[in-house]
């Protein structure tokens, strides 16, 4: 099962927010905007042990709102998970579960898990029907008007809640197509037991962005590394026949120790000790019983395992540098995820079993990693997220973890005002739909190799889209010279004028302010006679882009700067120098020695408008 939608209410900086959750969720945004709070909210929802304190409730919530809750919708359930959560299964194959924390008047906090159930509109098929059908007399009376209840009456015997629920489930399964349903949050606990949610939902591992990792990499069971290592050992034990044999032999030995044969000669040393103690305590009138419980093998590893790292000096992991400590955590995540073997779908299902899914959340995975290691780790995380039983959530300030081609992974997190709380912006629709979709995708993919750092647009206060490398190099240079440079403005080389609309669609979808700088590329009059029909069509398409870009511009977010006839001509870049040195270098050489007052007026206006940020 995987998390596909998340709603958070009154948690820390979050008043109320809903977001779609892909296989890999990448949270970006300014510091203190609430990225970590989203990850912690997921941890609260999935972990039985996670319990908030009063300070975790959103401070600006309305008076009387004393509930904090996280609502999770899951899809891609296995057959076993469908069996476990059969009561909550919706028509589309998803389930929706809520974990709530209620702040009591005395300051204590009550925790509960509840699921959403699809209930038919007929009252006698609802979970509350037992109140009106708890006796045969009531059932006889109601069946006069509702003949569908007669089979339950004719079956004889006492009417119990279990019998009624079984009858309801069978009837619903047989007549689902004829019934109309409404979704309601159940009043009782999830699966009928308090705090059972964390035991059957996916296991969650959060690697925090702590500066001191000494505690996190210890083998103890509560540390992240210890939990990961225990899970890995458990998986290994289930697959290794030697562990199975050791476990069986250990249980046999314990059974022998706990045995109390009638013949004293065959009694174990433990039985003799028990008898001796009983004799000493006979004046007290008590009996003594000593029983040995076999230890779990994975607990033995927790007690007796130490992780040593040898980088020329062999020492415990907690004595190494933070970079190596964090790399060790990540290495265990990668190695263990590759080794995991979820239970096969062919196995028989049982009424209830813990989910086989495992979720990983990492705060600032770029910490202590150089750029190449960041790219490598991002590739590993994407591989883990592609597994049907895994999901990855990260919060980051690094462009190496943001791939514009996979824009649906990205969620921009902001906090415009403390009273509003954390807000999110996503783009979940397919921006490449429509005609020539494959060509649009190909050009967008190729643009990555022109500007691999294009992901920085998600971190910018404003984005300036340009056609090519000349504008990419010259605009920041001239902005510095003109005294209007702003480091929070990113200039993005889109690879060509034809790619500008693709980037504009993404900026519009994520509501990122922008400026589009492009050449007018007017058609010459008259059109040269040596142009063939293919060249004429290409030039018309390029000129037609002016209209497309203008119509696509969202006036509340962006504006367009059209350079006529093109940037090189308007800037006065000599064609001979552009051919000799390349356009970008020729432009930089030209403006480097030029006084600011001599820069062409249109270029100055364009630069100032491009770097102007709205309040």
Query: Cα–Cα distances in Å, from 394 out to 15, 175, 207, 332, 536?
Result: 21, 44, 10, 17, 48
542-568 pLDDT tens trace: 999 999 999 999 999 999 999 999 999
Cβ atoms of 565 and 521 within 8 Å: the answer is yes
Where is the domain boundary, 306, 323, 346? 306
pLDDT single digits (tens) 54-88: 999 999 999 999 999 999 999 999 999 999 998 89
Helix/strand/coil percentages in the chain, nearest 5: 45, 20, 35
577 and 496 co-located in one domain: yes
Predicted pLDDT at 343: 45
Q: Residue 437 sits in which domain range?
A: 431-610
Asked whether residue 237 is assigned to any structural domain, the reply reads: yes
SS3 558: strand
198 and 243 both lie in a single domain: no
pLDDT of residue 315: 79
Same domain (yes/no): 106, 40: yes
> Residue 217 domain-assigned?
no
Question: What is the model's pLDDT at position 595?
Answer: 93
Contact by Cβ (8 Å): 274, 288: yes
Q: Evaluate whether residue 424 is within a structural domain.
A: no
Q: Is residue 394 situated within a structural domain?
A: no
What pLDDT, on a 0 to 100 scale, did the predictor assign at position 435? 62
Question: In this predicted structure, what is the pLDDT of residue 265?
Answer: 67
Task: Give the residues across from 182 on adjacent strands.
Answer: 119
* DSSP secondary structure of 440-493: HHHHHHHHHHH-TTGGGGGG-SEEEEESSHHHHHHHHHHHHHHT---TTEEEEE
Does 50 share its domain with 103?
A: yes
Residue 17 near residue 10 (C-beta atoms within 8 A): no
Do 131 and 234 lie in one domain? The reply is: no
List of residues 6+ apart from 301 with CB closer than 8 A = 219, 229, 230, 233
Amino acid 341: pLDDT: 47
For 599, phi and psi rounded to 5 degrees? -65, 135
Structural domain tally of the chain? 3
> Which residues, given as ranges, of the chain have pLDDT below 50?
341, 343-346
């Amino acid at each position: 099962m995987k998390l596909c939608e998340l709603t958070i209410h009154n948690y820390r900086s979050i008043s109320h927010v809903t977001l779609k959750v892909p296989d890999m969720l990448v949270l970006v945004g300014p510091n203190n905007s609430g990225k970590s709070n989203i990850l912690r909210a997921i941890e609260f929802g999935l972990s039985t042990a996670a319990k908030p304190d009063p300070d975790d409730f959103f401070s600006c919530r309305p008076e009387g709102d004393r509930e904090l809750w996280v609502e999770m919708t899951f899809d891609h359930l296995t057959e076993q998970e469908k069996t476990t959560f059969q009561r909550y299964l919706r028509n589309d194959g998803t389930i929706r579960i809520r974990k709530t924390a209620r702040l009591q008047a005395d300051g204590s906090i009550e925790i509960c898990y509840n699921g959403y159930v699809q209930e038919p509109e007929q009252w006698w098929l609802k979970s509350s029907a037992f109140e009106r059908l708890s006796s045969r007399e009531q059932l006889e009376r109601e069946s006069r008007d509702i003949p569908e209840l007669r089979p339950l009456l004719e079956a004889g015997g006492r009417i119990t809640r279990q019998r009624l629920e079984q009858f309801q489930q069978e009837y619903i399964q047989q007549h689902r197509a004829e019934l109309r349903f409404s979704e309601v949050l159940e009043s009782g606990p999830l699966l009928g037991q308090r705090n059972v949610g964390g035991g059957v939902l996916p296991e969650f591992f959060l690697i925090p962005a702590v500066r001191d990792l000494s505690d996190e990499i210890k083998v103890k069971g509560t540390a992240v590394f210890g939990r990961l290592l225990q899970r890995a050992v458990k998986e290994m034990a289930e697959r290794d026949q030697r562990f199975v044999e050791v476990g069986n032999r250990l249980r046999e030995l314990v059974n022998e120790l706990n045995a109390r044969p009638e013949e004293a000669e065959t009694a174990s040393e433990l039985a003799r000790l028990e008898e001796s103690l009983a004799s000493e305590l006979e004046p007290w009138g008590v009996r003594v019983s000593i029983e040995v419980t076999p230890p779990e093998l994975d607990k033995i590893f927790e007690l007796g395992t130490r992780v040593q790292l040898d980088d020329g000096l062999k020492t415990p992991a907690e004595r190494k540098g933070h970079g190596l400590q964090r790399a060790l955590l990540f290495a265990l995540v990668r190695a263990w995820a590759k080794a995991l073997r979820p239970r096969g779908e062919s196995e028989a299902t049982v009424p209830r079993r813990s989910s086989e899914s495992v979720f990983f959340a990492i705060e600032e995975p770029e910490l202590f990693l150089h750029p190449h290691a960041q790219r490598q780790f991002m590739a590993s995380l994407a591989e883990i997220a592609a597994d049907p039983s895994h999901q990855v959530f990260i919060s980051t300030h690094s462009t190496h973890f943001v791939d514009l081609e996979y824009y649906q992974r990205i969620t921009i997190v902001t906090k415009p005002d403390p009273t509003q709380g954390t807000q999110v912006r996503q783009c979940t629709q397919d921006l490449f739909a429509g005609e020539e979709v494959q060509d649009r995708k190909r050009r967008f993919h190729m643009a990555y190799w022109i500007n691999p750092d294009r992901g920085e647009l998600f971190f910018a206060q404003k984005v300036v889209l340009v056609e090519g490398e000349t504008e990419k190099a010259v605009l920041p240079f001239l902005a510095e010279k003109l005294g209007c440079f702003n480091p929070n403005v990113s200039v993005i080389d889109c690879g060509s004028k034809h790619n500008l609309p693709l980037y504009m669609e993404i900026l519009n979808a994520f509501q990122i302010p922008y400026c589009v700088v492009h050449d007018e590329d007017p058609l010459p009059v008259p059109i040269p006679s040596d142009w063939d029909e293919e060249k004429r069509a290409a030039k018309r398409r390029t000129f037609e882009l002016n209209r497309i870009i203008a119509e696509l511009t969202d006036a509340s977010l962006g504006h367009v700067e059209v350079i006529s006839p093109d940037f090189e001509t308007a800037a006065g870049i000599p064609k001979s120098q552009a051919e000799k040195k390349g356009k970008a270098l020729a432009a930089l050489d030209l403006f480097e020695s030029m006084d600011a007052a001599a820069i062409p007026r249109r270029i100055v206006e364009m630069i100032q408008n491009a770097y102007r940020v709205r309040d």
